[in-house]
A = this chain, B = another copy of it.
Amino acid sequence: MASDSAPLSAPAPVTVRVQAEDFDTAAEIESLSAGRTDIGAVVTFSGLCREEKGVLSALELEHYPGMAEAEIRRICEEAITRFDLQGATAIHRFGRIDPGARIVLVIAASTHRQAAFDGASFIMDYLKTAAPFWKKEHLKDGTARGWVSAQDADDTARERWARG
């Protein structure tokens, strides 16, 4: 897909990582944009572990090693082609995530702000519905509430990017 319509300029860097460790948002922005003067806009999305009613002990994030990285890379490359991004980064954690902690980071860089916003939003919408990750909730009373259900709203969000 990407190869047919790739821009003529130098390839835009794509960084994808799936890891248990936390990440450093500022370092990732810096790594994408340092030493470049052709980037006018950088949009980042950080997804955090939300704790709604004081009962959640932690999230457990399971993933499909190999396919998770491959799917996220495919999503980022599609965003680069589609929105003419100058770079994209996506980092997704797995394992135990405490309330308030970071889960996912997406960065899109472009010459123009709308492309950067659209690129980051597109990557997130596809990542939520196509990247093989599953969340399980563990409660403070020691029980597991169980697996988080997929949201219809996420499918709807993804569908708005569909092209006829």
Residues of A within 8 A of B (CB): 24-26, 29, 33, 35-52, 99-100, 111, 113-114, 116-117, 120-121, 124, 157
Contact = CB atoms under 8 A, between A and B. Distances in A.
Contacts of A111: 50
Contact of A114 (B29, B42, B157): B157
Contact of A113 (B24, B33, B47, B113): B47
A54 to B, nearest CB: 9
Contacts of A120: 43, 117
Most buried by B among A38, A48, A114: A48
A100 B39 CA distance: 8
A117 B114 contact: no
